[in-house]
A and B are shown apart, each in its own frame.
Chain A
Amino acid sequence: MLSILIWLPVAAALVGALIPLQRAGGLLALGGALGALGIAIALIAGYSGHGYAHVTDVVWIRSLGIHYALAVDGLNLFLVALTTFSFALAIAAANIRDWPRPRVFYLLFALAESAVLGAFLAQDLALFVAFFDLMLIPFYLLLGVWGGPGRVAATLKLVIYTFVGSLLMLAAAIALAVLTSEHSGQPLSFALTTLAANPLHKGSQEWIFLLFAAAFLVKMPAFPLHGWMPDAYREMPLEVLAVFSGVLSKVGAYGFLAIALPIMPLAAVHFQTLILVLALCSIIYGSAMAFTQTNARLIAGYSSVAQLGFITLGIFAFAPQGAQGAVLQMVNHGLVVAPLFLIIGVLAARAGGSDDIRDMGGIAFRAPVLATFFLIVAFATLAMPGSGNFVGEFLILLGLFKTKMVFSIIAFGGVVMASVYALRLFIRAMHNRVGPKVASGEMSLRNALVLAPFIGAILLFAIYPQLQLHRSESTVTGSIVREQIDTGQNVRVAELTGLPAGWIAYGPNAETTIATGGANK
């Protein structure tokens, strides 16, 4: 079932690419993405809230002990749903426009979806690395071929930054598996459960953790490693950018939670402060940049940097609330930033093709539906109480407050700054004087149809975040259980939730896990 989920989009688009009809590519890609969305919804409905579901485990490369292992758990369930949801709507949005060479465009778009889904679902480290690297290729070509005027330079930056991270991670992953196999005397294996059950000693964990962290932080992007972001965001087609920012950045955060923390608990504790400082810098720097930029894409881009800083804070708080909030916030942010970019696209079309907020403005009353949608998205971005983002940020800050109070207090500043840049973007784009080249008018029905599901999802999570929180609770707690023990904080919480919580308990080495966990305590 999960294999179908992963490969359906690209298979459909491949059929579309081979049919000699220009229109077929887009429609088939949309069909594939909608099919994947349907499967993802079925997964949510069927998920019990504990452990793995729909496990696929086939030997891929026997000689290296690499498995094609996929599974759904509480951590990736909603990220998968977010991915299929965003991609389906982004492909739908792309269908509104005409593209040069449409068949290749949609094939790459669908390949991107398959690769991202694969990265989220992989339960084998080598498979994760393969998908993680693979997803960059379609985005590289989408940016390079269909992007704006400065696209070639932008692709170079994007690829060099992200590939450097990915390749370092590749080396780290192999080293991790080989050292683990030597350490434990078991045959070479990349399965996440095996690696988590046999942690390395601290020194090896530390350098491997740093390489993983570099890859994840680049992907997010986080503060010192975000250099590729402005150029890529400025030049990427907006439909592509919507999923790039909404979904791809989450793979980095997901990597921390699903891979770095369970497998390298000692190193995660060791570098906790470093990562927290970087996350704080991301929040402050991202927010500050967001309210000085005039390019609407960059405002949204820097706001993402800040939001991902929050998510990182939540993960590295090593408290269940923080991690829960981080997972919720990953989904929320994806749901907010994707429509934000699509709205910017609609606005830019009305401002003579300019992304600059100085060229926009004054169309709120002439386009009330658009204004309403935009307002909802803007309020969600600034985490207005009542929105899902508020719940997410609240949980993150609560978790952090319990473990690292100082960081939490500074991070509160980020919440305030978020309201400044979100409202500034809204006011400058929708109110004020009418821009010089603005052709005002309501957005088209098709655009509204694409945006409406996003708004619906934002409202759904605003009203009922437990939909996700219930399902992710046990897994998320399981991911950070070791860190809690190692930091000596919240041991009581760990005991309450049961030591072998989450998916560690469901692996083949559950007994060992309990044993080592007990020893650590």
Chain B
Amino acid sequence: MIAAALIHPHGPYIDWAALSPLVALVGGSVVVLMVGLLRSRFARTQVVPFLTLVSLGVTIGFVIWQWHRHVAAISGALAFDQLTGTITLLVAAGGIAATLLSWRGQAPRESAHGDFYSMMLGSITGMVVLVAAQNLVTLFVGLELLSIPLYVLCATEMHRAASLEAGLKYLIVGSVGSATLVYGLALIYGATGSTDFSGIAGSISQGHSSDVLLLTGIALLTVGLAFKASIAPFHQWTPDVYEGAPTPVTAFMAVATKAAAFGVLLRVFDVMLPAEHLNWRPALLVLAAISIVVGNVGALGQSSLKRLLGYSSVAQAGYILAGVAVATTLGARATILYLVVYLLMNIAAFGAIVARERMTPYGDDFDAVAGLGAEDPWLAWPLTIAMLALAGVPATAGFIGKFFLIDALVGAGYTWLAILIVVGSMISLGYYLRVINAVWMRSAPGPSASAAAGVPVIAGGSPEADALGQTHIELRFAAVVFGGATVFFGIVPQPLFDLAQHAANTLSGAL
């Protein structure tokens, strides 16, 4: 890197090829914002999401192009390695799914299409920066770039109070999380005298390992990241925000934010702080255990599907955190594999839920999916598969993910946590099966009931736009594709293992 700088005296050398995924995202964000300003209704409602998809597709293409390069770009501030690549693929896939889910939805219409998709791309940019970050400053920049557009996205259904409430709640809680995190970063810098991950790791290994300042810093950093990853007991915002936010945004938050947050958790704990593992490992194990219990128990009594998935995401975060906490290569691989699986199952579920929200007057209540099995098998099966996969039933990717996690835990000697995961899965059956019961074993609420419930009048909404009963092909497409992928990777899981192995190889030097 130094040599490169010497050869080009005109300025620091920038490896544009390595940065190309980021360029595609930022460029896409700008272009989408501009096109959104056009007057043509067609341009706004159709071209904008299409360009968003193009931008994400190009990003994925660039990642695959750069797959085998390991580059430290921008003076070593960002690392484009296979971990970054994998997480970028995940968040881009999450973004594509979210774009499909919101294509003809309410949220982009109310918040101007260009702004909506531009912010989504901005948030994805933040995620990539966060995962690629190699020093504390970049990490914080990435985190804020991720979070701020999300605060806005949560509030994009401006005529629904719950959406605004969700945005505000997320803003306040998220800001507290960020503040905690930045305080932690400052303390770590104070203790080690470096903002660079490798510098910090070097400093710790030279004998600062039980410095109180450092330990406090690590604790605050952990709390800050736990807020983002909705790990209990820092999860209180999750159900409310998941319920209030527009459903496509919820889906995006569930899968993409989680992937980015766990990507950075892996990076922080396994690259920056491996020498400290005696101190942070018990803490993470306990957090994982709490999340599993709190998430699974909390989900039991919910009547809103989105709240249910919110609590379920807390529980799933606990499972994934267990993979980080064991701090072995196997654990890192299990974490990444589970992130992929988690994306597949959740998008399948959210696709079906969004479709039902537009077809019935029940929103995300259980009534919305009652009798779905008889009415619409192409939505019922993806939803059923997603629920079974989340519960960890064989022949779905969820089983493979859980199997690998338990394998990693037992291999590292944490059988008690493996048993807890199993117990959590048992409890989780109690609520996942309720969804399946509603889909297959209840009949649809009668038409009279739906008339009585009525559609809440949305000020400013045009009647044709608010009309219910529309079936949208792209929702069905997303649900079926991701549901099918859940089953496919449950039967042929080796590609996922290979991907996880590539991604975790980056970390294996540190472990």
Tell me the A residues contacting B by CB distance below 8 Å: 61-64, 101, 104, 126, 129-131, 133-134, 137, 140-141, 144-145, 151-152, 155-156, 159-160, 163-164, 167-168, 170-171, 174-175, 178-179, 188
Which chain B residue shows the least CB distance to A168? Answer: B422
Which chain A residue shows the least CB distance to B374? Answer: A101
Bound form: Cα–Cα A171–B420 in Å: 10
The reply to whether A156 and B494 form a contact with Cβ atoms under 8 Å apart is: no
Bound form: Cα–Cα A274–B85 in Å: 54
The reply to whether A174 and B437 form a contact with Cβ atoms under 8 Å apart is: no
The reply to whether A145 and B373 form a contact with Cβ atoms under 8 Å apart is: yes
Contacts of B501 in A (CB 8 A): 63
The reply to whether B426 and A178 form a contact with Cβ atoms under 8 Å apart is: no
With A167-B425, A174-B403 given, is the CB distance from A144 to B437 under 8 Å? yes
| Residue B168 CB within 8 A of the other chain | no
Bound form: Cα–Cα A137–B425 in Å: 15
Interface segment among B25-33, B287-295, B411-419: the answer is: B411-419
Which chain B residue shows the least CB distance to A169? Answer: B422
Residue of A63, A159, A168 near B497 (CB, 8 A) is A63
Bound form: Cα–Cα A17–B7 in Å: 67
| Residue B202 CB within 8 A of the other chain | no
Which chain B residue shows the least CB distance to A156? Answer: B433
The reply to whether A145 and B441 form a contact with Cβ atoms under 8 Å apart is: yes
Residue of B410, B426, B441, B494 near A155 (CB, 8 A) is B441
Contacts of A174 in B (CB 8 A): 403, 406-407, 410, 418
A163 to chain B, nearest CB (A): 6
A137 to chain B, nearest CB (A): 6
**Can you identify 10 A-B contacts, CB atoms within 8 angstroms?**
A61-B400, A64-B404, A101-B373, A134-B394, A141-B436, A144-B437, A170-B422, A175-B418, A178-B407, A179-B410
Contacts of A160 in B (CB 8 A): 426, 429-430
Contacts of B437 in A (CB 8 A): 144, 152, 155
Residue of A62, A130, A170 near B406 (CB, 8 A) is A170
Bound form: Cα–Cα A145–B433 in Å: 13
The reply to whether B415 and A175 form a contact with Cβ atoms under 8 Å apart is: yes
Contacts of B410 in A (CB 8 A): 171, 174-175, 178-179
Bound form: Cα–Cα A63–B494 in Å: 8
| Residue B392 CB within 8 A of the other chain | yes
| Residue B72 CB within 8 A of the other chain | no
| Residue B56 CB within 8 A of the other chain | no
**New A-B pairs, 8, CB < 8 Å, besides A62-B494, A178-B411, A179-B410:** A131-B394, A133-B393, A134-B393, A141-B436, A141-B440, A163-B426, A167-B392, A170-B402
B445 to chain A, nearest CB (A): 16
Number of A-B contacts (CB under 8 A): 88
B393 to chain A, nearest CB (A): 6
| Residue B395 CB within 8 A of the other chain | yes
Contacts of B421 in A (CB 8 A): 171
Which chain B residue shows the least CB distance to A127? Answer: B394
Contacts of B252 in A (CB 8 A): none
Q: How large is the interface on B (under 10, 10 to 19, 20 to 34, 35 or more residues)?
A: 35 or more
| Residue B399 CB within 8 A of the other chain | yes
The reply to whether A137 and B440 form a contact with Cβ atoms under 8 Å apart is: no
Bound form: Cα–Cα A237–B394 in Å: 25
| Residue B199 CB within 8 A of the other chain | no
Which chain B residue shows the least CB distance to A177? Answer: B407
Contact with A along B375-414 (1 / 0, CB 8 A): 0010000000000100011110001101110110011000
Contacts of B406 in A (CB 8 A): 170-171, 174
| Residue B61 CB within 8 A of the other chain | no
Which chain B residue shows the least CB distance to A163? Answer: B429
B363 to chain A, nearest CB (A): 23
Which chain A residue shows the least CB distance to B501? Answer: A63
The reply to whether B441 and A151 form a contact with Cβ atoms under 8 Å apart is: yes
Bound form: Cα–Cα A104–B372 in Å: 13
Tell me the B residues contacting A by CB distance below 8 Å: 333, 373-374, 377, 388, 392-395, 399-400, 402-404, 406-407, 410-411, 415, 418-419, 421-422, 425-426, 429-430, 433, 436-437, 440-441, 493-494, 497-498, 501
Bound form: Cα–Cα A287–B410 in Å: 42
Specify which of B388, B395, B402, B497 lies most central, judged by the most chain A CB atoms within 10 Å of its CB: B395
B247 to chain A, nearest CB (A): 26
The reply to whether A170 and B497 form a contact with Cβ atoms under 8 Å apart is: no
Which chain B residue shows the least CB distance to A126? Answer: B403
Which chain B residue shows the least CB distance to A144? Answer: B441
Which chain A residue shows the least CB distance to B424? Answer: A167
The reply to whether B388 and A137 form a contact with Cβ atoms under 8 Å apart is: yes
Contacts of B374 in A (CB 8 A): 101
The reply to whether B426 and A164 form a contact with Cβ atoms under 8 Å apart is: yes
Bound form: Cα–Cα A134–B410 in Å: 23
Contacts of B392 in A (CB 8 A): 167
Specify which of B394, B407, B436, B497 lies most central, judged by the most chain A CB atoms within 10 Å of its CB: B394
A43 to chain B, nearest CB (A): 25
Contacts of A101 in B (CB 8 A): 373-374
The reply to whether A137 and B433 form a contact with Cβ atoms under 8 Å apart is: no
Bound form: Cα–Cα A386–B404 in Å: 52
Bound form: Cα–Cα A168–B403 in Å: 12
Contacts of B373 in A (CB 8 A): 101, 104, 145
A282 to chain B, nearest CB (A): 24
The reply to whether B433 and A159 form a contact with Cβ atoms under 8 Å apart is: yes
Contacts of A144 in B (CB 8 A): 436-437, 440-441
Contacts of A151 in B (CB 8 A): 441
The reply to whether A170 and B403 form a contact with Cβ atoms under 8 Å apart is: yes
Contacts of A126 in B (CB 8 A): 403
The reply to whether B393 and A137 form a contact with Cβ atoms under 8 Å apart is: yes
A87 to chain B, nearest CB (A): 19
Bound form: Cα–Cα A170–B391 in Å: 13
Which chain A residue shows the least CB distance to B411? Answer: A178
A416 to chain B, nearest CB (A): 40
A7 to chain B, nearest CB (A): 11
Bound form: Cα–Cα A159–B426 in Å: 10
Which chain A residue shows the least CB distance to B421? Answer: A171
With A144-B441, A145-B373, A167-B426 given, is the CB distance from A155 to B493 under 8 Å? no
B338 to chain A, nearest CB (A): 14
Contacts of B403 in A (CB 8 A): 64, 126, 170, 174
Contacts of B419 in A (CB 8 A): 171
Contacts of A163 in B (CB 8 A): 426, 429
Bound form: Cα–Cα A80–B148 in Å: 60
B505 to chain A, nearest CB (A): 13
Contacts of B498 in A (CB 8 A): 63
Bound form: Cα–Cα A453–B426 in Å: 40
Which chain B residue shows the least CB distance to A103? Answer: B377
Contacts of A64 in B (CB 8 A): 403-404, 407, 497
What 3 pairs between A and B have smallest CB-CB spacing? A130-B394, A63-B497, A134-B394
B203 to chain A, nearest CB (A): 35
Contacts of B493 in A (CB 8 A): 61
Contacts of B377 in A (CB 8 A): 104
Residue of B393, B430, B494 near A61 (CB, 8 A) is B494
Which chain B residue shows the least CB distance to A129? Answer: B394
B129 to chain A, nearest CB (A): 30
The reply to whether B394 and A133 form a contact with Cβ atoms under 8 Å apart is: yes
The reply to whether A130 and B425 form a contact with Cβ atoms under 8 Å apart is: no
Which chain B residue shows the least CB distance to A164? Answer: B426
Contacts of A134 in B (CB 8 A): 393-395
B366 to chain A, nearest CB (A): 13
Which chain A residue shows the least CB distance to B377? Answer: A104
Specify which of A131, A159, A178 lies most central, judged by the most chain B CB atoms within 10 Å of its CB: A178
With A63-B501, A174-B418 given, is the CB distance from A130 to B395 under 8 Å? yes
Bound form: Cα–Cα A152–B433 in Å: 10
B139 to chain A, nearest CB (A): 30
Contacts of A137 in B (CB 8 A): 388, 393
A210 to chain B, nearest CB (A): 12
Contacts of B415 in A (CB 8 A): 171, 175
A13 to chain B, nearest CB (A): 15
Bound form: Cα–Cα A151–B442 in Å: 11
The reply to whether B399 and A130 form a contact with Cβ atoms under 8 Å apart is: yes
A164 to chain B, nearest CB (A): 5
